[in-house]
Amino acid sequence: MKLIWTIGAAALFATSLAQAQTLPENYPADYPDLVTEANAEGSLLIYTNLSGDNLNPIIEAFNAAYPDIAVESIEMGPAEAFTRYQAETGTGVASADLVIANSITDWISAVNKGMLDAYVSPETANVPEWSYPEPGLYTISTDPMVTIYNKITVPEGLQLSSMEDYFAAIAESRDVFEGKVGTYDGRYAFGGAIGYAFARYHGDPAWDWFENAGPLTRPGGGAGGMIERTLSGELSSSFVVSGPVVFNRLKQEGLGEVLGWTFPSDGTPVFLRGMGITAGAPHPAAAKVFLDFVLSEDGQYAVAAGNLTPYRPGVITSDELSYSLDEVIEAIGGEDKMILIDYDPEMVETFDAFTARWGEAFNM
């Protein structure tokens, strides 16, 4: 049974912590001084590709604990968050204190360019090591990718969880799937990072699957578009679709009668959504306190309330159509079935070659 933890409960808990001025045992003794400094700064600016629906529950819970720190977020494309910060700081303009984005290649570039404050959070003892792979680079959520089906147009026997079987079915059951399969475009940063990690995990068989089934698919567009096209019957199925977007959409009454989904049973891609304090942050103390809060237990419950996937061990979500990473791992049968879409420097070095090969396999 899932532990019910609403955003109101998280906020109440956070408020009681702040009022009692208690901190976890592993926090440094001078952490209250950091909080005092953050309160004096009084504000925080975030550049992010998260929507308000995703980020507002986190801000609400944070402000319950730290009401003296006003948080502003500006939504933009993931790559734009980095280019805008560089352009502004390059001309001496005050810019973002913190960036939250899901562009693996841009994060690697930001690390290499020294764009991040190498802050060491006291919460690192409580989260997996892979979630902070570089100095200053952290993870806000770990979003699984799923396969979706139109349950009306795809027979139950073809609603497969194994990706090996799925790609075989696309090639063999053309009356159902030909020209009616969606996925992200692997020639671009987000889809390319997923495809790269998928091919790295499965090896040569992945390229056989891509080459056999790729020409029958219609890559392109985001998760919302793939869901709508699958619901309408324009697509019969879509693969490696952002799970949190699917789960949130399924909360609408009746959609589950048409839209089916599954975690890939032979390897579920999990995307690390990055978070980091900028090297030139105008409000560095407030940014540190915010980052620490996001990594904390009540912060991770707030991440779940924002329809994202919390990854801190022990966090269990309150909704049957919501998953924490612990629940994803249990559902897919173990960590060895998890394909972490991580910050592999080799991906950056070979990305052009990968995208060219992917485009050829998918006839694009």
User: Cβ of 320: how many Cβ atoms within 10 Å?
Assistant: 10
β-pairing, 70-75 with 138-150? Answer: unpaired
Indicate the fold that domain 7-142+271-326 takes in CATH: D-Maltodextrin-Binding Protein; domain 2 (3.40.190)
Return contacts of 79-84, CB within 8 angstroms, 24+ apart. 79/103, 79/106, 79/189, 80/47, 81/47, 81/48, 81/49, 81/106, 82/106, 82/109, 82/110, 82/115, 84/47
CA nearest 346: which of 356, 354, 334, 338? 354
pLDDT score, position 172:
97
86: left (phi > 0), else alpha (psi -120 to 50), else beta?
A: alpha
Q: Work out the angle at residue 121's Cα, subtended by the Cα atoms of residues 115 and 127, and round it to the nearest 5 degrees.
A: 110
Q: In the CATH hierarchy, which top-level class contains the domain 144-268+331-361?
A: alpha beta
96 phi/psi in degrees, rounded to 5: -70, 150
What end-to-end distance do the CA atoms of the chain give, in Å? 46
Q: Rounded distance, CA 17 to CA 168, Å?
A: 54
* Residues in a beta bridge with 181: 237
The b-or-e profile of 85-122 (16+ CB within 10 A means b, else e) is bbeebeeeeebbbbbbbbbbbbbbebbeeebbbebebb
How far apart, in Å, are the Cα atoms of 204 and each of 152, 198, 210, 359? 33, 11, 10, 16
CB contact at 8 A, 309 and 102: no
pLDDT at 89 > cutoff 70: yes
Report, as an integer, the average pLDDT of 24-37.
Answer: 94
CA distance linking residue 131 with residue 339, whole number of Å: 14
Tokens of 121: 């959070």
**Rounded distance between C-alpha atoms, residue 111 and residue 45, angstroms:** 20
Give this prediction's pTM: 0.90
Give 7's pLDDT tier (boundaries 50, 70, 90).
very low
Residue 10 pLDDT grade (very low, low, confident, very high; cuts 50, 70, 90): very low
The helices-and-strands tally (H runs, E runs) of the chain is 15, 9
Do the domains spanning 7-142+271-326 and 144-268+331-361 agree at the CATH topology level?
Answer: yes
**Three-state helix/strand/coil letters over 179-235:** CCEECCCCCCHHHHHHHHHHHHHHCHHHHHHHHHHHHHCCCCCCHHHHHHHHHHCCC
Task: Give the confidence band of 214 by pLDDT, cuts at 50, 70, 90.
Answer: very high
* pLDDT of res. 335: 96
Report residue 2's pLDDT band, with 50, 70 and 90 as the boundaries. very low
- CB count in 10 Å sphere of residue 211: 16
The one-letter amino acid at 285 = A
Domain ranges of the chain: 7-142+271-326, 144-268+331-361
Name the pairing type of β-strands 70-75 and 98-101.
unpaired
Would you place residue 319 in the very low, low, confident or very high pLDDT band (cuts 50, 70, 90)? confident
pLDDT of 12 strictly over 60: no
The SS3 call for residue 139 is: strand
3-state secondary structure of 171: helix
The values of phi and psi at residue 144, to 5°, are -75, 150
Percent of the chain with pLDDT over 90: 89
Beta-carbon neighbour count of residue 8 at 10 Å? 12
Helix (H) / strand (E) containing 70: strand 70-75
The conformation of residue 282, written as its DSSP 8-state character, comes to S
Enclosing H/E stretch for 112: helix 104-112
Q: Kindly indicate the confidence band of residue 19, based on its pLDDT and cuts at 50, 70 and 90.
A: very low
